[in-house]
Amino acid sequence: MRRSAVSIPANIAEGYGRGRRAEYIRYLEIGRGSLFELQTYLELAREMKWADGEDLAAVARLADEVDRIVSALLRSLKRRRP
């Protein structure tokens, strides 16, 4: 879970740092994939009862918010693509 969680902002930052819109989009998509991986781990942790349901629900809400933000950014960047 930690690796996928850390991978999200790391990929976003790397893509932005490359300075080209196409690369930024590519790394945003990779970061979003890591977000989906994290969401899968959260669901598994819930099903296996490895963590408190309230804690998992709070993290899941934050993950959903990150997904909305990254998805909106991707849509915006793809719309403005030359």
Determine the pLDDT at residue 1.
Answer: 92
CA atoms within 13 A on the CB side of 75: 6
How many C-beta neighbours within 10 Å does residue 41 have?
A: 18
What's the CATH fold of domain 2-79? de novo design (two linked rop proteins) (1.20.1440)
**pTM for this prediction:** 0.89
User: Hey, where are the domains in the chain?
Assistant: 2-79
23-78 per-position pLDDT tens digit: 999 999 999 999 999 999 999 999 999 988 899 999 999 999 999 999 999 999 99
Confidence of residue 81 (pLDDT cuts 50, 70, 90): low
Q: Which residues of 69-80 are buried (b: 16+ CB within 10 A; e: fewer)?
A: ebeeebeeeeee
Give CA–CA dist 56/80, Å, rounded. 36
CA distance 6 to 71: 18
